[in-house]
């Protein structure tokens, strides 16, 4: 009998069937949300998350992050949870840190079997409109939470199966798309109930005791997987890093720093956000200092999967409540970006959500000899609206991906989006539906940060506007580059510009609203490239040559960044081996040691101008960190 088995109170068969059923139920809930909800943000962009929990509120499912069940206990208590109840909230300051911005409405149903609470099923989705200052409920200029839409603290939308119709009507009335909103809420409740039936069936088949023992094992498996497969790859010690949001939408652009100190011991990782900059006036705050930081711990833990033995293995590793035994967090005093005071706006908190993953990954890079993916910026929205309300009004809005990070095992993937299965709009669809002509849909040349494994490419998209309108852009990383790791170079920034008919070109800011675009003008959008990984001079010359042949890397970059000398013979491009070797040797000699991180030129300029200020007790987290040579790095991975 294996050690694992001795501790189990459940047979291997029951366990495997229950694990398979929980996983299948998660997929079923997702399918039900997509099938029956109405907001395009949920149905097509897949911006929703589902989860199953045990009776203690511990998360069992692992495909994706989720909100928390803690608000049910905190606001109602164990005695006030009944069959037929539906708990509901979206309040960023009353959801134990589980809901980050107001468009995310969260639905939770208790799972009851033979009168006993055996778990919870939960769905939250990003709804198209929950009121507030602007359509879409994500005002760039918001200076408080109330501007951003209707705020619902934890309530029972259903009490023992009976709808609280007053609450339902108030919520629906506060949306510009109340029919959509009602449909979405009903869909989420239906989907959550569907998931709960699956858990009840397992209780009926194997009994509550076996079910609970299986839940314990599911959670322990996660902890054990991390302990055995991932933690040993991280060197014990204390590591710090920081990254920035360049603009809060309200004040003039400046660096808003998120700071992290990671302390790694054999069995644990402590993440301390002390040193993070003060809360912002605009909507980039993220209130997570609740419920022992459970949300942030579960949100950030999946970063560890990049340390798995292969990307296929990484995709298999479920991240559930078991991560709490590994990761602890510490927060600074109230009043920072991650501990904002009640009422601070949070609508565009997705910038800081992504930064948190990036700084954790960078701390891990320091602790693993650089063996972590570089940076990628994955969410931005641009759009064009025009016409007359009620007549020919149109809103053409796209969520566009960016280049993925270079990693030790592969180049970054091109134009990817962090939300799984989210899709871009086909040109043929866009042209049929909106007054536009997509003139170019391409990968942006040289956008991926150079490296032994380069970053993925971002978009280079040109859209001719056939009927004038107004442009919007919700994007970060328009000034700061995505960072490169272990000698890899930073990736290119986001850029949006309007090329007027008379030839003038206007560059537009990343955070912009209501920019007038006339008939016949062209909007050009370049999305971020991923950061590069490893020394570009180590990249196989043949790979560089192939990227040049494909037109993805310029000959200039091949020569100047990668040190590869190419000869053109008619249509053929060939590597000049000896010249390349000589050139690379010369470049290596001239440049000196490579830094561990490259944040790009905009940052370097600010830093050179003494524009980066560190709080007391902090020093430049890049200083003294050099790239680890590839041979050494690979040996470390063994």
Partner 1 sequence: MGLRVAIDTGGTFTDVVAIDEASGDQWAIKTPSTPGDPSQGLLNGIRKVCQAAGREAGQVAAVLHGTTTATNAVLEHKFEGLGLLVTEGFRHIIEIARQSVPDGYGNSYFWVKPPRLVPLHLVREVPERLDFQGRVLAPLDEEATLGAIDELVAKGVRCIGVCLLHSYANDDHEKRVGALIATRHPGVFVSLSSIVLPEYREYERAMTTLLDVMVKPYCKTYLGRAEAEIRRTSGDTRFLIMQSNGGVVTARTAGEKPVTMLLSGPAAGVLGASFMADHAGLRNILTIDVGGTSTDVSLVENLKPQLTSAALIEHYPVKTPMLDIATVGTGGGSLAWIDPYGNLKVGPRSAGADPGPICYGKGGKEPTVTDAALVLGRLPAALVGGEIALDKTNALKAYQKLGENFAMSAEEAAAGVLEIAAANQVNGIRQVTVMKGRDPALYSLVSFGGAGGLFACEVADFLGIQSVMSPPNPGNLSAFGLHVSDVKRDYIRTMVRQESAAKWREVDAAWRELEVRGTKEIAAEGVPEADIQLNRSADMRYVGEGHEVPVPVSEGVTGEAAVAELWREFHRVHQGTFGFAYEGSQDVELVNLRVQAVGRVHRPLARKINGKAGKATPASTRPVYWRGIGWQDCAIYRRETLPLDATLDGPAIVEEYGSTVVVPAGWRLTVDPYGNLMLKRKP
Residues 246-305, interacting with partner 1 (CB under 8 A): 302-303, 305
Q: Is 409 in the site for partner 1 (CB under 8 A)?
A: yes
Minimum distance from residue 262 beta carbon to partner 1 (Å): 17
Q: Does 569 bind partner 1 (CB under 8 A)?
A: no
Q: Return phi, psi of residue 70, to 5°.
A: -45, -40
Q: Residues 272, 275, 277, 283: what is their CA dihedral angle, to the nearest 10 degrees?
A: 10
Q: In b/e form, how buried is each residue of 18-32, taking b as 16+ CB within 10 angstroms? A: bbebbbebbebbbeb
Could you tell me the two tokens for 437? Answer: 């002509």
| H or E element at residue 470 | strand 469-474
CB of 310 to partner 1, least distance (A): 9
Q: What does the DSSP 8-state code read for residue 527?
A: P
118 binds partner 1 (CB under 8 A): no
Q: Half-sphere exposure (CA, 13 Å, Cβ side) for 517?
A: 34
Q: Does 156 bind partner 1 (CB under 8 A)?
A: no
542 forms part of the interface with partner 1 (CB under 8 A): no
Q: Is 529 in the site for partner 1 (CB under 8 A)?
A: no
Piece in contact with partner 1 (CB under 8 A), picked from 117-125, 320-328, 548-556, 620-628: 548-556
Considering only the stretches 12-20, 94-102, 136-144, 612-620, report the one whose residues sit in contact with partner 1 under the rule CB under 8 A. 12-20
Kindly tell me which residue out of 59, 126, 380, 417 binds partner 1, with binding defined by CB under 8 A. 417
Interface of this chain with partner 1, residues 359 to 398, rule: CB under 8 A = 361, 373, 376, 378
- Closest contact distance (angstroms) between CB of 421 and partner 1 is 5
Please identify, using beta-carbon distances, which residue of 315 and 516 lies nearer to partner 1. 315
Q: Which of 187, 284, 324, 517 binds partner 1 (CB under 8 A)?
A: 187
Tell me if 465 sits within 8 A of 444, measured CB to CB: no
Listed ranges 271-279, 423-431, 477-485, 508-516: which one lies at the site for partner 1 (CB under 8 A): 423-431
User: Is there binding between residue 157 and partner 1 (CB under 8 A)?
Assistant: no
Distances in whole angstroms, Cα of residue 383 to Cα of each of 359, 389, 518, 633: 29, 17, 14, 43
Q: Which helix (H) or strand (E) holds 263?
A: strand 256-264
Read off the tokens for 93. Answer: 């300051």
Of 203, 362, 415, 565, the residue at the interface with partner 1 (CB under 8 A) is 415
Of 398, 397, 405, 399, nearest to 377 by C-alpha is 405
With CB under 8 A as the contact rule, which of the stretches 97-105, 336-344, 439-447, 598-606 interacts with partner 1? Answer: 439-447
Separation between Cα atoms, residue 237 and residue 478, nearest integer Å:
34
**How far apart, in Å, are the Cα atoms of 335 and each of 294, 299, 449?**
19, 21, 35
Strands of 316-458 (E only): list them: 327-330, 381-386, 394-399, 436-443
Scanning 3-11, 87-95, 147-155, 327-335 for contacts with partner 1 by CB under 8 A, the matching segment is: 3-11
Q: Of residues 13, 252, 609, 631, which one binds partner 1 by CB under 8 A?
A: 13
Among 367, 404, 403, 405, CA closest to 533: 405
Judged by CB under 8 A, the number of residues near partner 1 is: 96
State which of positions 191-250 bind partner 1 (CB under 8 A).
194, 205, 221, 224-225
Binds partner 1 (CB under 8 A): choice among 5, 497, 567, 601: 5
Contact (CB, 8 A) for 436 and 384: yes
Answer for which of 144, 506, 519, 549 binds partner 1 (CB under 8 A) is 549
Place of tokens 């507030």: 132
Instruction: Give the per-residue contact string, 14-43, with partner 1 (x = CB under 8 A; - = no).
Output: -xxx-xxx-xx--xx--xx--xx-x-x--x
Distance CA 76, CA 229 (A): 39
Burial (0-12, 13-18, 19+ Cβ within 10 Å), 181 = buried
424 binds partner 1 (CB under 8 A): yes
Residues 310-329, one symbol each (x = binds partner 1 by CB under 8 A, - = not), give -x--xx--------------
550 in contact with partner 1 (CB under 8 A): yes
Q: To the nearest whole angstrom, how small is the minimum distance from the Cβ of residue 218 to partner 1?
A: 10
Q: Which of 306, 339, 368, 474 binds partner 1 (CB under 8 A)?
A: 306
113 binds partner 1 (CB under 8 A): no
Q: What is the DSSP string of 201-262?
A: HHHHHH-HHHHHHHHHHHHHHHHHHIIIIIGGGS-SEEEEEEEEE---SSSPP--EEEEEEE
| ∠ CA 404-405-410, rounded to 5° | 100
Q: To the nearest whole angstrom, how small is the minimum distance from the Cβ of residue 173 to partner 1? A: 17
Query: Closest CB to partner 1 among 40 and 161?
Result: 40
Of 131 and 373, nearer to partner 1 (C-beta) is 373
- Per CB under 8 A, the list member of 81, 245, 257, 552 interacting with partner 1 is 552
* Contact window for partner 1 (CB under 8 A) among 94-102, 416-424, 532-540, 601-609: 416-424
Please identify which residue in 134, 230, 367, 443 interacts with partner 1, judged by CB under 8 A. Answer: 443
Reported as type and span, the H/E element at residue 163 is: strand 162-163
In angstroms, give the least distance from the CB of 282 to partner 1: 25
DSSP annotation of 61 reads: -
Q: Which of residues 471-500 bind partner 1 (CB under 8 A)?
A: none
Among the residue ranges 4-12, 162-170, 207-215, 556-564, the one whose residues contact partner 1 (CB under 8 A)? 4-12
By the rule CB under 8 A, 574 interacts with partner 1: no
**In the chain, what is the straight-line distance between the N-terminal and C-terminal CA atoms, in Å?**
30
What CA–CA distance (Å, rounded) separates 21 from 59? 15
- 615 contacts partner 1 (rule: CB under 8 A): no
| Residue from the set 254, 268, 462, 607 that interacts with partner 1 by CB under 8 A | 462
Q: Specify the residue, 247 or 415, whose C-beta has the smaller distance to partner 1.
A: 415
Instruction: Give the integer Cα–Cα distance in Å for 304 and 58.
Output: 20
Instruction: Please list every residue from 64 through 93 that binds partner 1, using CB under 8 A.
Output: 64-65
């Amino acid at each position: 009998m294996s050690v694992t088995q001795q501790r189990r109170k459940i047979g291997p068969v029951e366990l495997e069937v229950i694990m398979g059923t929980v996983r299948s139920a998660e997929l079923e809930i997702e399918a039900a949300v997509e099938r029956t909800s109405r907001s395009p943000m949920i149905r097509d962009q897949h911006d929703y998350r589902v989860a199953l929990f045990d009776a203690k509120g511990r998360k069992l499912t692992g495909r994706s992050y989720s909100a928390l069940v803690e608000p049910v206990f905190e606001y109602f208590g164990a005695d006030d949870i009944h069959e037929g109840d539906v708990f509901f909230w979206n309040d960023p300051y009353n959801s134990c840190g589980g809901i980050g911005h107001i468009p995310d409405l969260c639905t939770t149903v208790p799972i009851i079997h033979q009168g006993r609470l055996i778990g919870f099923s939960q769905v939250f989705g990003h709804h198209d409109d929950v009121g507030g200052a602007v359509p879409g409920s994500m005002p760039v200029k918001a200076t408080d939470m109330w501007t951003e839409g209707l705020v619902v603290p934890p309530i029972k939308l259903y009490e023992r199966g009976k709808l609280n119709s007053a609450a339902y009507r108030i919520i629906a009335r506060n949306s510009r798309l109340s029919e959509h909103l009602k449909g979405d809420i009903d869909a989420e409740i239906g989907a959550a109930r569907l998931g709960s039936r699956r858990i009840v069936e397992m209780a009926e088949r194997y009994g509550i005791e076996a079910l609970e023992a299986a839940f314990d094992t599911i959670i322990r498996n996660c902890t054990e997987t991390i302990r055995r497969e991932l933690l040993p790859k991280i060197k014990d010690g204390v590591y710090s890093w920081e990254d920035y949001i360049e603009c809060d939408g309200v004040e003039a652009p400046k660096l808003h720093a998120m700071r992290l100190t990671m302390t790694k011991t054999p069995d644990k990782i402590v993440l301390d956000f002390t040193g993070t900059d003060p809360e912002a006036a605009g909507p980039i705050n993220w209130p997570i200092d609740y419920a022992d930081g459970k949300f942030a711990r579960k949100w950030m833990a999946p970063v560890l999967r990049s340390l798995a033995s292969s990307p296929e293995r990484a995709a298999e590793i479920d991240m559930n409540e078991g991560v709490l035994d590994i990761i602890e967090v510490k927060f600074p005093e109230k009043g920072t970006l991650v501990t904002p005071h009640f009422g601070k706006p949070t609508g565009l908190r997705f910038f800081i959500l992504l930064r948190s993953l990036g700084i954790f990954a960078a701390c891990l890079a320091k602790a693993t000899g650089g063996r972590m993916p570089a940076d990628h910026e994955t969410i931005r929205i641009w759009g064009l609206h025009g016409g007359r309300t009620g007549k020919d009004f149109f809103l053409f809005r796209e969520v566009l991906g960016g280049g993925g990070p270079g990693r030790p095992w592969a180049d970054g993937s091109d134009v990817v989006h962090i939300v799984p299965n989210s899709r871009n709009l086909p040109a043929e669809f866009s042209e049929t539906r909106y007054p536009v002509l997509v003139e170019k849909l391409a990968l942006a040349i040289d956008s991926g940060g150079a490296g032994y494994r380069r970053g993925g490419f971002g978009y280079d998209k040109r859209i001719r506007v056939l009927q004038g309108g107004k442009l919007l852009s919700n994007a970060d990383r328009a000034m700061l580059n995505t960072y490169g790791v272990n000698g890899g170079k930073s990736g290119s920034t986001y850029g949006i510009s309007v090329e007027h008919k008379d030839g003038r070109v206007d560059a537009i800011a990343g955070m912009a609203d209501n920019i007038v675009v006339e008939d016949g003008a062209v909007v050009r959008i370049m999305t971020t490239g991923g950061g590069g990984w490893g020394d570009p001079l180590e990249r196989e010359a043949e790979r560089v040559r192939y990227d040049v042949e494909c037109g993805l890397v310029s000959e200039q970059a091949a020569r100047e960044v990668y040190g590869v000398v190419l000869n053109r013979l008619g249509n053929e491009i060939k590597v000049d081996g000896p010249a390349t070797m000589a050139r690379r040797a010369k470049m290596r000699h001239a440049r000196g040691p490579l830094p561990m991180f490259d944040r790009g030129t905009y940052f370097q300029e600010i830093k050179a101008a003494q524009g980066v200020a560190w709080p007391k007790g902090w020093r430049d987290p890049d200083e003294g960190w050099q790239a680890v040579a590839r041979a050494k790095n690979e040996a470390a991975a063994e």
